[in-house]
Amino acid sequence: MDGRLLDRLPAAFWTVPYAGSRFPGAPAVAARPGLAAGANCQLFAHEVLRHFGLAPPPLRSSELWTDTQATVRVPRPRPLDLLLFNATDDAYGAHVGVWTGEDEVLHLCAQVGRPVVWTMAEFAARERYRVLIGVKRVRAR
């Protein structure tokens, strides 16, 4: 794990509650931006990247997977890349996390209810997240 990356994440990120209705582009997010009211996995991951100076587009998982303007698919993750997981290889409704390095992914899921760091083996052990669809890197502006 890149401890430096996680150490630079403000404490407020670790207390964000899971809120499935707060996703990129949702009216609730437009009305009340930020993470204080909670987030789904995608919104949380996007805000983590924004904190570190990247500008991910407000795309849901299947849109993110097909996007070629602001992101690129990469074969191996590096810190701050987005990983998409699902029970199948379908990107629709996929779970999104942020690679922190050393086989660990920071993410927010309904199962835990708050941000957590899991290894790839921990994702693979759960039916809902067992398939790594792939890795996306946000292009620098």
**pLDDT single digits (tens) 65-106:** 999 999 999 999 999 999 999 999 999 999 999 999 989 999
pLDDT at 1: 40
What integer is the mean pLDDT of 30-55? 92
Distance CA 78, CA 83 (A): 10
Radius of gyration of the chain (CA): 14
Is residue 114 within 8 A of residue 107, CB to CB? The reply is no
**Cα angle, residue 23 at apex, residues 21 and 25 outer, rounded to 5°:** 115
The CATH fold of domain 3-138: endopeptidase fold (from Nostoc punctiforme) (3.90.1720)
